Amino acid sequence: MDIAELKAELEQYHAACFGWALSCCARDRAEAEEVLQTVYLKILEGKARFRGEASLKTWLFAVIRKTAATEYRRNLLRKLRVAVSSEQVSKREPAGGEVDAAFDRSEEQVRFRLALQHLPARQRETLHLVFYEDLSLREAADVMGVSIGSARQHYERGKKRLREILERTEVDYGISWRGKENPGAV
Amino acid sequence: MELVGEEKKIQALFSELRLADEQAAPSFIGVWNRAQLRTRTRVSPLNFSLAATAFAVFVAVVALALWSGSRPQTPPINQTVAITPVTSPFTPVTPPVTPTTTSEPTPKVITVVEQRQAARKLRAARFAARQRAELLAARRAEIRDATAISSWQSPTATLLSSQNDALLNSLPQLNESVKELKSFLPNK
């Protein structure tokens, strides 16, 4: 597959790739864009080469995941160096804290995004690949580099955990809302 | 089924999220072009190291050329050295001789090669003499040790000697008479 062909294919998957990059970068838009750019750079330089062992989408997602992990480690080291000098090690903050006002369409969506940030990485990735990217469990396992059994476990646990978090936040939200409306009630 | 309903709900939430992401996604062309720009501007570490090595070699060659150019020329090996005989201050001063038809005393001319050969011979002779002297000294020491051993006497040798040494050292003969043999017996 030459570069022109690959470019056309990549353009087709660009939006999905960006969504996946967002998920891998804890929904940090700038970082996701940087990761995507690095992935394209790798493809252009021939460092990442599609050999047809899996589908292009699966391969692309795997490259994005690996690149995001590398970038994350690099950023973490950079942050650590800065933190050591200022004696405050900052943990990777989920981008849920910087939720744009544009995305605040519904309270449920906001709660959902926050709940996703609280899921373990593997569970979040599995749910994202299955529900967001419409991949099968086998494909999701290929992207994450795990067995299908492991992917299934992450999927089930992820769903359960997500439901629990959503329910809890719903209750919390209800209490806080009621508290605001009627301070004497709570 | 509860699971199906739950999955549908999660699916709906993810769909909404996807819609939001798609709206916020950067254009493919923009990202692709930036990546291409990075490819062009990026200098690989290998290229950089090659360039650095080439520069270092170039500097070394130039420095060598400059050094060899500024170095004083050494005389050729077969160059002759004129040695004029040194005149002693105590030698009687000869009156200046007017130039005559007789030939002037020519200075002794010795080549550098000859000088080196002579020095080498001298060094060899010294080395041989030193070796001979060492050998002689070693032999002398050996002779001294041998004589010392042959003339050595035990300090307790006197304790072993007694007045009856002659009796103890002599043996009776077979053809001796009994009377003579009695002489060996202790006197009562």
Query: What's the CA gap between B55 and B115, in Å, rounded?
Result: 47
Q: What is the predicted pLDDT for the residue at A5? A: 82
Residue B136 and residue B147: Cα distance in Å, rounded? 17
Task: Kindly report the nearest CA distance between residue A14 and chain B, in angstroms.
Answer: 6
Residue A44 touches partner B, C-beta closer than 8 Å: yes
Task: Determine the 3-state secondary structure of B82 from DSSP.
Answer: strand
pLDDT at site B51: 85
For tokens 């090669």, the residue is: B113
Contact flag B38-A41 (C-beta cutoff 8 Å): yes
For residue A156, what pLDDT band results from cuts at 50, 70 and 90?
A: very high
Q: Is B91 inside any structural domain?
A: no
Q: Which residues of A touch B22 (CB under 8 A)?
A: 15, 19
Q: Give the model confidence (pLDDT) of A49-65 as tens digits.
A: 888 888 888 999 999 99
The larger pLDDT score, comparing residue B49 to residue A160, is at A160
Summarised one tens digit per residue, pLDDT across range A25-42 is 888 888 899 999 999 999
Chain A residue numbers with beta carbons less than 8 Å from the beta carbon of B19 are: none
The per-residue pLDDT for range A95-122, each reduced to its tens digit, is 554 445 445 557 778 888 888 988 999 9
Closest CA to A69 of A114, A97, A35: A35
- Residue B125 has a pLDDT of 94
Q: If we measure between CA atoms, which residue out of B45, B47, B41, B38 comes closest to residue A41?
A: B38
Q: Which residues of A touch B10 (CB under 8 A)?
A: 127, 131, 159, 162
Task: Map residue A50 onto helix, strand or coil.
Answer: coil
Q: Region of B173 please: left (phi>0), alpha (psi -120 to 50) or beta.
A: beta
Q: Is residue B178 part of a domain?
A: no
pLDDT digit of tens for each residue in chain B (188 aa)?
Answer: 344 677 888 888 898 888 888 888 888 988 888 888 887 776 566 667 888 899 999 999 999 988 887 766 555 555 444 444 544 444 454 555 455 444 555 555 668 888 899 999 999 999 999 999 999 999 999 999 999 988 888 888 888 888 887 777 777 777 777 777 666 666 65
Structure ipTM: 0.73
- Same-domain pairing of B37 and B48: no
Mean pLDDT of chain A: 81
User: Could A15 and B16 be called an inter-chain contact, meaning their C-beta atoms sit closer than 8 Å?
Assistant: no
The radius of gyration of chain A from alpha carbons, rounded to an integer in Å, stands at 19
CB-nearest to B10 from A19, A102, A159 is: A159
Greater model confidence, A168 or A2: A168
Total domains in chain B come to 3
pLDDT given at position B88: 47
String of DSSP letters for A133-182: S---HHHHHHHHTS-HHHHHHHHHHHHHHHHHHHHHHHHHHHHHHHHHH-
Q: Is residue B17 part of a domain?
A: yes
What A101-105 contacts at long range (C-beta under 8 Å, 24+ apart), as own/partner pairs, is A102/B20, A102/B24, A103/B20, A105/B16, A105/B20
Report the range of poorest mean pLDDT among A126-140, A145-159, B33-47, B88-102.
Answer: B88-102
DSSP-assigned states of every residue in A105-136: T-HHHHHHHHHHHTS-HHHHHHHIIIIIS---
Q: Does A53 touch chain B (CB under 8 A)?
A: no
Chain A: residue nearest B38 by CA? Answer: A41
Domain span holding position B53:
44-73
Residue B128, domain member (yes or no): yes
Q: Is A19 an interface residue toward B (CB < 8 Å)?
A: yes
- Taking only residues 56 to 115 of chain A, the set having a beta carbon closer than 8 angstroms to any beta carbon of chain B reads 102-103, 105-106, 108-109, 112-113
B8 inside domain:
yes
| pLDDT band of A89, cuts 50, 70, 90 | very low
Euclidean distance between CA atoms A3 and A11, whole angstroms: 12
Pick from B13, B21, B31: CB nearest A22: B21
**Residues B119, B145 within the same domain:** yes
- Cβ of B35 and A44 within 8 Å? yes
Calculate Rg over the CA atoms of chain B.
Answer: 56
Give the number of A-B residue pairs with CB atoms closer than 8 Å. 70
- B179 belongs to a structural domain: no
User: Can you give the pLDDT at residue B129?
Assistant: 95
Of all residues in chain A, the percent with pLDDT exceeding 70 is 78
In a domain, B172, yes or no: no
A50 contact B CB<8A: no
Residue B65 lies in a domain: yes
Buried b (16+ CB within 10 A) or exposed e, A165-183: bbeebeeeeeeeeeeeeee
Asked if residue B8 and residue B37 are part of one domain, the reply reads yes
Residues of A in contact with B28 (CB under 8 A): 10-11, 14
**Domains in chain A and their CATH numbers?**
1-95 (1.10.1740), 99-186 (1.10.10.10)
Gap between the Cα atoms of B187 and A146, Å rounded: 121
Question: Where among B73, B91, B119 does a domain terminate?
Answer: B73
Q: Choose among A10, A41, A112: nearest Cβ to B39.
A: A41
The reply to whether B34 and B3 lie within a common domain is yes
Report the pLDDT value the prediction gives residue A138, as an integer from 0 to 100. 92
The answer to whether residues A149 and A157 touch, using CB atoms and an 8 Å cutoff, is no
